[in-house]
Structure formats: C-alpha cells, structure tokens
Structure 1
C-alpha cells in the first residue's frame, strides 16, 4: 500500500524530483509550496497523510514554526511523523528541529536513496515499537506512569502525554530495561538499529522532550536519570 506523503517545499524543481523518485518507491506524494497551503492540506486530507516532509525555509513561515503548529494539532495529527529538510549546515538547526518535535532531518543536498531510507525508518517506528514484550504484559506501569504498548499512549495520573513516535519507542525501550544504565549508542541501536553519528545529539534532545512530558520537574528528573559519562537509566521505583 502506498504511503501518503505531504511535501511542504517552495523549490518546485526539488519537489518534482522528490515526487518522481518517491512515487517509484510506493509513495503517494502531494506537494504544497507554502506553509499555509501545507497546513490546510494536512488538516483536510482524506485519507490522512502518513508522513510530512517539511522544508526549514519557506516563503511565508519558518519550518520550525510549522513543526510546532503541527505538534499543537489535536490527535492524531500531532503525532504525524515529520522529516525536516534543511540547507543549513549548522548541527544546532537539526537539534532545534528535534527539540520541537521533528522525528528526523535530512540536510540538503541529499541523496534520494538516503531520503527514502529515512522516511521508511520513521514510518516503521510509527507503525510499531521494536521492543519485544510478552503477550500478557502489554502495559508497563511505574507508579503514576503508564505506558500502553498496544495503544502507543503514555499517561501520567491517567492523563495522556503526547510524544512523537520516536520518543514513544525510546521510552518503551528504556522502560523494558528499567534499572539498567544504557549508553546513547545502546539507545540508538534499540530504537533505530543505526549507529550513533559522532555529532548527533538527538538522543539527548528526545530525552529532554520525554522528561518534559512525564516528569513532575524536568529539571530534577526522577524517572529518566542521567548517569554522567555513561548514559541514562530508567528508574524501576517511582513515586515512592
């Protein structure tokens, strides 16, 4: 089945090239040249889109602001996978994108095959967590925190906490290994199966987003603990 993709990009030539290539690889590509048009398409689409390819620099808005708007939409739109395109080489642009809710980024210029691989990766993460669980334990509970692996929902005090698909998989991977110190490399491998790039701060960014969602005080976390020089540990005992 084709995956419906919305590309918000003002470069018509690039959009046409991407649409042709992805169209040959089981993607149904729709294009918007402005942020306003893209957001309208996104909300009115039927059937809904499966993924958004979002340019950082648009004529009527900054792609980071568009990403924030999408994450502020009601569910299920707010969990739609977002892959950002950026012409800038500064890694901080990528970090900021991840901080505000993007699932991945692809710097321009890019190889079409790399873009295809990254899109497929975020869609795999959206479709289900790779963390193995038993059939009788589909919900993980830690004090007031509940991780529903079937519904892919996180709750604290019975209130849902929206996170991206990547962040849900990351939390599930840590919760399944509660009490174990996990390095950034181990976390990347558990969630993506890809090696950590030397400059990549994505794990730290996503951990920060998770803390904002599930911790009472993200600045003094009790659930996801930093182990200096080693990585992170998900606390077994919580709210005690």
Structure 2
C-alpha cells in the first residue's frame, strides 16, 4: 500500500517541522505550506490524501481555505485551533472540516485521528451518486437543489449533514448503514466519538421526518449495526 500523503498548512515553522517529522516517522509522506498561496501551489503540483490546516494563517484564513477546499474536493481536513477558540471549531466543522485538534495537542492523538480519517475515506462508497429526485412516504428529496419537501409540498430545512445522511439512506433503503459509513458521506467532523457525532444528526433528522421521533419507524436503529431506512423509495 502506498504511503499516505499529508499536506500541513501551518505558518509556525517549529510546529510545522515537528508535525512533518512525526508524520514521516509514522510512515506517511508529509509536506508543508505556510499559507494559502503555497497550499494552492502544492495542490496543483501534487495530490494529497489529507490536509492539516491551521486556522490562524497569514493572508487568507484557515477557515476560508477550508471552505474553498470543501467546494472543490472531498479530501479529509483536520483543523488546528487555539484552545479557547470554540467558535472557530464550530464554524470549521460546519463549513466542512472533518476534525479539529486544539493547541497545544498530543502528536500521538493527532496521528490516531489522521489514521481514522484515512480509513474512513478509504471505505467503499455507498453507491454511485444519482441526480434524480427521490420520493418516500409522500416526501420528496431533490439531490440537485439539496432540498426536502414534506407531503404537503412544504420545504423542510435540513443542515448540510442532515441532508447528506438522508440522501445516503434514500439511496440505500433496506440496508444497514454503519456509523462509519454515514460519517463517510458527511463532513461532520469528530467533535466527539463517531457514535455521538452521527447519533446527534440522526436524532435531529428523526424530529423532522418521523411522526413520533421517540418511536421512529422510518429510520430504525439496528443494535450493534447502525441504522436502516425502512421506507420504500422511488425515483421520480
């Protein structure tokens, strides 16, 4: 198996060198860019499996770079944030970062998180994406406009992650999807354990599409397995 290629976008030379050396010692290929301009140049010249992105950078901020990367690619992104910058972590996860690590951080923990993200990125896709609208129990899912309409044709607001998960369910009805598979179709990030991250999104989604979220029948929990979408889904 080829070594994973990691791009570190960090302007602090000492932190960047420490990260690069630690990743190389762990069997990965690591390169450094000090700002967004250097990151763009690196990514034009090479392909990478994951980006470590500092929030505080000279010029374009890490949050802006994260947003740009997510529009163009599904590459896993780990953000480095200051310990007291909770808003940066929240915004970073919402705009597409897959995980965050606060400074000062444990290099061993960071490498473990990186390996976890790389494993999830390597999971087989849940199915080739389709662009046709999908209907279940009177609900309509529009993958192109990324909108959900209830049986009365009223639009129902979903977060990015909720829509990603619902779309995965609709494309795989009757199949048990693990939490790792569901995490793989979102850019939800690991603000906590995988179980908590996905379960929170599932809970919110149930509140919007189930008749009784406390006794769900459309999104069933499969003990020790994950979740299964029980509704019949048709392309329209």
TM range (shorter): 0.5 to 0.7
2: CA distance, partners of 1:161 / 1:49: 29
1:98 maps to 2:93: yes
Runs of 4+ in 1 over 3 A off after TM superposition: 158-162, 167-180, 186-192, 195-198, 200-207, 225-232, 237-240
1: CA distance, partners of 2:87 / 2:199: 13
1:107 maps to 2:102: yes
Aligned to 1:134: none
8 Å CA contact retained: 1:7, 1:53: yes
1: CA distance, partners of 2:80 / 2:129: 29
Aligned to 1:27: 28
Residue 155 (structure 1) aligned to one of 130, 149, 153? 130
Determine helix, strand or coil for the equivalent of 2:129: strand
Aligned to 1:53: 52
Which deviates the most, 80-89 or 29-38? 80-89
2: CA distance, partners of 1:120 / 1:35: 24
Determine helix, strand or coil for the equivalent of 1:113: helix
Aligned to 1:141: none
- Structure 2 gap ranges (5+): 134-142, 147-159, 185-189, 220-228
8 Å CA contact retained: 2:174, 2:230: yes
RMSD (CA atoms) = 4.3
Superimposed CA distance per residue, residues 116-167 of structure 1 (whole angstroms, 9 cap, x where no aligned partner)? 01110111011114xxxxxxxxxxxxxxxxxx63xx54323187799x9xx9
Report how many aligned residue pairs link the two structures.
192
How does the TM-score come out when normalised to structure 2? 0.63
Aligned to 2:138: none
2: CA distance, partners of 1:201 / 1:62: 29
